[in-house]
Structure 1
Amino acid sequence: MFTRQQTSSPLSDPILDRFCSEILPEIGHRIKTLYLERTSMERILHATNYPNLNNLSLCHIDSEVAKSLFDGKNSLTHIFNNQISSLFINFNDVKDSLPMRTIYSIIFAKILTIFTNLRCLKFNPSSSYRDAVLFYLIRDTAISSTLLELHVGVVEMRDCLDILDGRFDQLRILHVTVYGIYPWFFDIEHGQNLLPNLRIFSLCCKKITDFDKSIVSVVRRMLNLEELHLNIIVECNGRLIDGDTLMKDIILYMPRLYKFTFNICSTIKHCDQTNFALNQHIEKTLEYFHNNEIITCIDHFQENGCSQCHIYSYPYKWKVYNNITNNFRGGLFTSVTEVSLYDERPFEDEFFLRIAQSFPFMKELTIKNLKAQNKKQLVKSNNDNQMLSIIEYPNLTRLDLAYTHHDYVELFLFDRKMALPNHLHLRVDYQSLEKVTYNFARYTRPNNCAKLAALYFYLVDQIDEHIKKYFPHTSMRCTDDFVLRK
């Protein structure tokens, strides 16, 4: 079962027995919405009749359970197939294999076939790239025309276009996460039919190689769009994306648009630039966005030979904030749970304090910075440390330091002002870890080493026995993947 905040709280067996045998039969006819988790799902659904149930959420279930539930033979689906109008489902599989995409795609298709009165489907909304739906696998599936709202993650843009090919022509609301839009997409023929029924469109994509062909051409087909939300990272050729781009390429083509929020990070190679834009120039192009506060940040990376322009609506509504640099202005971002940091200039301690204050609910942090800290301080006495602000990350579960200078590994593991929670999963370069632990012989106290639940390394020839003794209660994993299941 779930609380009002929808946080998992499985019932003990005696309580569940009484709940199913005594309470549910008395109130089942009044229940319109159920939030269920995997351990009690089937027992609760079988406990009584739910004649008024129309909203169902199945949280953290296994794919095998879902396959049996939606195979067309389960008695529960026959009971609810014409009754459920809103369905939320996400998965808790521990496997990280490409075939999971196929399994989830099949489950997705079966849901659309079985539930004949479905209006809203939120399918695995927190999925990763490996869990995304492959629409080419289900092109021949008969799709229910009743669906008005869809939330789904797909592998690439052609999957998104499959959603818009006419089979979901009644859709009013579409929230889609696309994990990549690549050059070969532009060689694929796809329909150009107009999408007059769509009212709300939200797109998240971590890599786009052509803004005009992949985003502008698709969005312009949505003639009656009222809300547009773009959370995208774009590799540009001609110029960075600014307010002028958004106005002339998108907004002018949408007369009914009244709400437009965006988080757009665009990059351009220096060889494609004639002028290096300044922050005030970008801000000036956004002056006519009167109804929104727009934050801008521009960085020029000389070593990497590129520039990055980040523009976003504030208050920030997204769960992920990528590519934060030293130019980050701060603020409060209560929706963000995943953060990545990158710069060619070193991150100092004050920067990490600003990050902690700006993202109080951050669960995942990735740092990419190969520069040593300029202001690195030696271990000080307790009296000295009392003058330093404590840097706290109370909700952190995943920390990625695989592409950082060893100064940052030392900061997070041994600096007394760095406060980390227990059960932390850390990915780190093996040689960096050797260095900061003095070949696993450094026993400075206090430190954060005992708080690690797991260490992740890229494939190494052999894990030294000394590291196992140094981290006796920490799981060691040699893998390219660093994905924590929710």
Structure 2
Amino acid sequence: MDVLYSLFDVNNQRLVNITQENTFTNTLNFVFTTLTDDILSISDPIIDRFFMNILPRIHYNVKSLILNSLSMERILAGDYPNLSELKIFNVNVKVASHYFTVLCDLSLTTCYSSTLYKLCIHVMYYHDLLALLDGRLKQLNTLNVVIVKQEYNPTYVYNMNLSHLKCFSLQYDCSSDAYDGEILPLLRRMSNIEVLNLNLIIDSPVPFIDDQQVECMIKYRRLPNVKYHLFSLPFMFDGLQFIDNKFPNIIFNHVIRLVVDDNIPFEHEFFMRIAWCFPLLKVLTVYNATSQSPILNYNDNQLYPTTIEYPYLTSLYLLLAHGDYVNRFLNDRKTRLPHLTVLSVNYNDLRNVTRNFTNDRIRLNCIQVKQLSIGPKKIAHSEDFYAYFSLL
């Protein structure tokens, strides 16, 4: 991109010819990532020059476009006959409903391709996934799927040939019946699979899953009251749910969304491990109604041995957590949250921890909060409250 923008149309034909080679024109990235991992569009003057002068002369070479929703209208107005990959970031509901209405409520037999080899997609139901695997995508060898809603239909027939699939990734919140009757029969059809990533949340009664099941040699037994996580390494998904006090000391470099849940208190060491194991964590939800150890809990003037920092955390959900965890995260002697912008918390816990919004020890972690959820009650707030949350 920088080479194209800087050297295109310079008064040197040799340089112009070099900039139009595939090395510089196959992939065009119109976004940049900030230090806080936010994805923004490049400036309008640069986009305007590409749209008016550069893209019309290199459009045939373009195979991949990376866009922000703010810039995509101008860029996608062009013709790209060899485009095989399109990534669009920050697409909100309004933008999606305006530009992608043509794809709403289509029949399952509408979409097909003889050239598509990689597909990453969210589908509503399991039968939508089956429709994609009925032969219409003849060259597909990599499929990453998130199934949004749970269903189970024991009448599905698994007669498709999936020998062409080499890589398969699935995220699905399903029942144990759906696991037995849908997931396992589907995996049996993938005779040449090389990379398999499964992120399954299975309702009770929970099946015991061993390595033989992963190999589709299905032998399992029922165990009551079992909670476990089974995943291959490295963990490739961006979300992980229902981690408790006993989780492995593994670096999860891809996880940005995490839910922790236990009826045993989460202590200081647990949150130190969370910060270390999930270095890119952006969204954290805590479910724990049990109070922490009383030592240092509400002593704001005493330092912890180590202050924990979550440098990328932007959203924190504590509405269903004991008030101790509100103090744990908002007290800047215990935890630093330099980029926290979304906070969900019980109002009474928040009021107690902040001492009616006068406690300076808590103010620093709240200073950038732009979205605050404090439960269903509508409350007339004081001036101290709005001074605490000045960006609301």
Counterpart of 1:369, as a letter, is N
SS of residue matched to 2:58: coil
Counterpart of 2:64, as a letter, is L
SS of residue matched to 1:309: coil
Counterpart of 1:193, as a letter, is M
1:203·1:230 contact (CA, 8 Å) conserved in 2? yes
| The one of 164, 167, 180 aligned to 1:197 | 164
Structure-2 residue corresponding to 1:355: 274
Structure-2 residue corresponding to 1:33: 27
Structure-1 residue corresponding to 2:87: 89
2:108·2:128 contact (CA, 8 Å) conserved in 1? no
Structure-1 residue corresponding to 2:185: 217
Structure-1 residue corresponding to 2:321: 404
Q: 1:375 to 1:403 in 2, by over 3 A?
A: same
Structure-2 residue corresponding to 1:438: 355
1:181·1:214 contact (CA, 8 Å) conserved in 2? no
1:365·1:400 contact (CA, 8 Å) conserved in 2? yes
In structure 2, distance between residues paired with 1:357 and 1:377: 22
Residue correspondence of structure 1 range 294-313 to structure 2 within 5 A: 306-313=225-232
| The one of 119, 122, 134 aligned to 1:165 | 134
Structure 1 portions without partners, runs of 5+ = 4-14, 110-133, 253-271, 277-305, 476-486
1:188 offset after TM fit, Å? Answer: 6.3
Q: 1:381 to 1:396 in 2, by over 3 A?
A: closer
SS of residue matched to 1:180: coil
Q: 1:202 to 1:219 in 2, by over 3 A?
A: same
1:145 aligns with 2:114: yes
In structure 2, distance between residues paired with 1:392 and 1:215: 39
In structure 1, distance between residues paired with 2:311 and 2:156: 49
Cα deviations across residues 363-389 of structure 1 (Å, max 9, x unaligned)?
A: 22111111111244145586x52x611
SS of residue matched to 1:409: helix
Cα deviations across residues 47-77 of structure 1 (Å, max 9, x unaligned)?
A: 23116624222322259x55x866xxx4x12
In structure 1, distance between residues paired with 2:312 and 2:153: 41
Cα deviations across residues 300-358 of structure 1 (Å, max 9, x unaligned)?
A: xxxxxx43111222333332222110112323222222221100111111111111122
1:198 offset after TM fit, Å? Answer: 1.7
Structure 2 portions without partners, runs of 5+ = 32-40
Counterpart of 2:354, as a letter, is T
TM-score (norm 2): 0.81
Q: 1:160 to 1:2 in 2, by over 3 A?
A: farther
1:471 offset after TM fit, Å? Answer: 2.5
1:235 offset after TM fit, Å? Answer: 1.7
Residue correspondence of structure 1 range 350-429 to structure 2 within 5 A: 350-380=269-299, 385=303, 388-414=305-331, 416-429=333-346
Question: Relative to total residues, which structure has the larger strand share, 1 or 2?
Answer: 1
SS of residue matched to 2:264: coil
SS of residue matched to 1:436: helix
SS of residue matched to 1:137: coil
Q: 1:226 to 1:447 in 2, by over 3 A?
A: closer
Could you say what the CA RMSD is over the residues aligned between the two structures, in angstroms? 3.5
Q: 1:41 to 1:56 in 2, by over 3 A?
A: farther
1:177·1:203 contact (CA, 8 Å) conserved in 2? yes
SS of residue matched to 1:408: helix
SS of residue matched to 1:186: coil
Structure-2 residue corresponding to 1:44: 50
In structure 1, distance between residues paired with 2:349 and 2:8: 54
SS of residue matched to 2:339: coil
In structure 2, distance between residues paired with 1:177 and 1:381: 43
Further displaced range: 151-160 or 459-468:
459-468
Cα deviations across residues 175-212 of structure 1 (Å, max 9, x unaligned)?
A: 11222332xx3166566322222222111224454211
Structure-1 residue corresponding to 2:145: 176
In structure 2, distance between residues paired with 1:473 and 1:150: 43
Q: 1:88 to 1:368 in 2, by over 3 A?
A: same
Structure-2 residue corresponding to 1:115: none
How many matched pairs?
Answer: 370
In structure 1, distance between residues paired with 2:337 and 2:349: 19
Structure-2 residue corresponding to 1:232: 200
In structure 2, distance between residues paired with 1:375 and 1:214: 48
In structure 2, distance between residues paired with 1:166 and 1:412: 51
1:413·1:448 contact (CA, 8 Å) conserved in 2? yes
Q: 1:445 to 1:406 in 2, by over 3 A?
A: closer
1:105·1:137 contact (CA, 8 Å) conserved in 2? no
In structure 2, distance between residues paired with 1:55 and 1:241: 41
| The one of 369, 375, 381 aligned to 1:464 | 381
Q: 1:205 to 1:19 in 2, by over 3 A?
A: farther
2:300·2:361 contact (CA, 8 Å) conserved in 1? no
Cα deviations across residues 382-412 of structure 1 (Å, max 9, x unaligned)?
A: 6x52x61111111111111121111111111
In structure 1, distance between residues paired with 2:113 and 2:357: 59
Residue correspondence of structure 1 range 243-392 to structure 2 within 5 A: 243-249=211-217, 306-380=225-299, 385=303, 388-392=305-309
Q: 1:247 to 1:470 in 2, by over 3 A?
A: same
1:139 offset after TM fit, Å? Answer: 3.0
